[in-house]
């Protein structure tokens, strides 16, 4: 006997803008702009990926770039934000932090400032109308120069806030094997001075040493992924002691070849070590599953009880940048979910 995981209130802290797209939306945007999609995004979707080597990452990135190229005007951008909010609300997420690098869309809307303002404006509208509150994380790319990251950090700081429709965090994404983590430290200092949370990616494609680098140079409040910390008890202990939330994305871990099966993701090990965990979908467009499926995997592949699943949901809420009033409401709703009768 179990409770509905769709009804479990939760926060979603690891969702990329382009990667959040519905596959049907991508296909419609491609038709709209007269662009051709590869078979992996048509009849062979979801694609078979493995990004643990250079060739595999190149294929993953090429598909991602293909999808990104289909987003070519303001209405496209607004649609992605709106549908992400709708999909999250339908799966029980009351707070979403969607991650975007405005650089990618700037050429189509007049610059990085209009790009981020479009996303924020639609986030405010979607928050009023969908049932999910939507905030934004601005993310720099490891494949670009660290000075570009500083520019984005300053831009993000101009829109810093603590509620829906504001920028609440600053991230660093793309291939962990690119760039020198330490060289991005200044950008994160700029973001921190503006009151933004530090939420870089680390510890998925690379092991615990890269988690340590992020801890040393980027002072994270959360880590995108971080699952490879399970391979080094000292690093994992540091994460637990510092209260760094891990945005664990099981579907990504398996799709990119970090683990062969969902049951191999070290979720229970992280839970039992006392780590703060927020499950995330990362890039549903390429991985084929959204937030609810990550909770279902926690139940089905790792044997987490409803009490443990409720604890995961609470951890996601506490690890978020949601205002205290939103956190309090969502945490109370989790308690109510756990107090509800089980279903056969």
12: left (phi over 0), alpha (psi -120 to 50) or beta: beta
Exposed/middle/buried for residue 118 (C-beta within 10 Å: 0-12, 13-18, 19+): buried
Q: What is the pLDDT of residue 55?
A: 76
Q: What is the pLDDT of residue 133?
A: 98
pLDDT tens-digit profile, the chain (344 residues): 689 999 999 999 999 999 999 999 999 999 999 999 999 999 989 888 777 766 777 788 899 999 999 999 999 999 999 999 999 999 999 999 999 999 999 999 999 999 999 999 999 999 999 999 999 999 999 999 999 999 999 999 999 999 999 999 999 998 888 889 999 999 999 999 999 999 999 999 899 999 999 999 999 999 999 999 999 999 999 999 999 999 999 999 999 999 999 999 999 999 999 999 999 999 999 999 999 999 999 999 999 999 999 999 999 999 999 999 999 999 999 999 999 988 75
With contact defined as beta carbons under 8 Å apart, do 84 and 96 qualify? yes
Question: What is the C-alpha to C-alpha distance for residues 319 and 222, in angstroms, rounded to an integer?
Answer: 7
Residues whose CB is less than 8 angstroms from the CB of residue 157 and which lie 6 or more positions away in sequence, other chains included: 167, 190, 191, 193, 194, 195, 196
With contact defined as beta carbons under 8 Å apart, do 229 and 236 qualify? yes
Beta strands in 261-340, from DSSP E residues, in sequence order: 276-279
Question: What is the C-alpha to C-alpha distance for residues 45 and 28, in angstroms, rounded to an integer?
Answer: 15
The CATH class of the 10-339 domain is: alpha beta
Exposed/middle/buried for residue 18 (C-beta within 10 Å: 0-12, 13-18, 19+): buried
CA 306 to chain centre: 23
Within 10 A of 9 (CB to CB), how many other CB atoms are there?
A: 22
3-state secondary structure 175-192: CCCCCCHHHHHHHHHHHH
With contact defined as beta carbons under 8 Å apart, do 18 and 80 qualify? yes
Q: What is the pLDDT of residue 1?
A: 65
Q: What is the pLDDT of residue 52?
A: 72
Q: Cis peptide before 256, with omega less than 30 degrees from 0? A: no
Within 10 A of 249 (CB to CB), how many other CB atoms are there?
A: 29
Q: What is the pLDDT of residue 62?
A: 92
Residue 192, both tokens: 């921190």
Within 10 A of 36 (CB to CB), how many other CB atoms are there?
A: 9
Question: What is the C-alpha to C-alpha distance for residues 40 and 261, in angstroms, rounded to an integer?
Answer: 21
DSSP state of 174: S
Q: Which residue has the tokens 């700037």?
A: 106
With contact defined as beta carbons under 8 Å apart, do 169 and 198 qualify? yes
DSSP state of 302: T
In order, the DSSP letters of 107-127 are HHHTSHHHHHHHHHHHHHHHH
Active-site residues: which are they? 204
């Amino acid at each position: 006997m179990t409770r509905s995981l769709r009804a479990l209130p939760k926060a979603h802290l690891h969702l990329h803008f382009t990667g959040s797209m519905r596959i049907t939306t991508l296909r419609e945007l491609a038709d709209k702009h007269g662009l051709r999609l590869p078979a992996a995004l048509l009849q062979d979707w979801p694609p078979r990926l493995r990004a643990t080597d250079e060739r595999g990452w190149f294929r993953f990135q090429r598909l991602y770039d293909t999808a990104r190229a289909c987003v070519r005007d303001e209405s496209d951008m607004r649609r992605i934000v709106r549908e992400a909010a709708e999909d999250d609300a339908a799966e029980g997420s009351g707070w979403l932090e969607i991650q975007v690098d405005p650089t990618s869309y700037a050429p189509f809307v007049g610059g990085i400032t209009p790009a981020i303002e479009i996303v924020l404006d639609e986030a405010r509208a979607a928050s009023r109308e969908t049932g999910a509150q939507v905030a934004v994380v601005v993310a720099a790319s490891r494949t670009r120069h660290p000075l570009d990251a500083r520019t984005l950090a300053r831009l993000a700081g101009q829109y810093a806030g603590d509620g829906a429709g504001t920028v609440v965090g600053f991230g660093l994404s793309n291939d962990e094997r690119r760039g020198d983590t330490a060289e991005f430290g200044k950008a994160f200092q700029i973001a921190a001075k503006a009151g933004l949370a530090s939420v870089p990616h680390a510890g998925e494609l690379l092991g615990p040493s890269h988690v340590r680098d992020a801890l040393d140079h980027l002072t994270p409040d959360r880590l995108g992924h971080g699952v490879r910390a399970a391979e080094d008890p000292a690093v994992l202990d540091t994460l637990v002691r510092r209260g760094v939330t891990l945005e664990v994305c099981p579907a990504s871990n398996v799709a990119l070849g970090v683990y062969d099966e969902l049951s191999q993701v070290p979720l229970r090990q992280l839970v039992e070590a006392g780590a703060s965990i927020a499950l995330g979908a990362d890039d549903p467009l390429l991985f084929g599953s959204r937030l609810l499926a990550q909770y279902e995997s926690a139940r089905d592949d790792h044997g987490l009880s409803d009490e443990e699943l409720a604890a995961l949901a609470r951890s996601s809420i506490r690890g978020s940048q949601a205002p205290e009033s939103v956190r309090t409401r969502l945490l109370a709703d989790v308690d109510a979910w756990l107090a509800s009768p089980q279903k056969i």
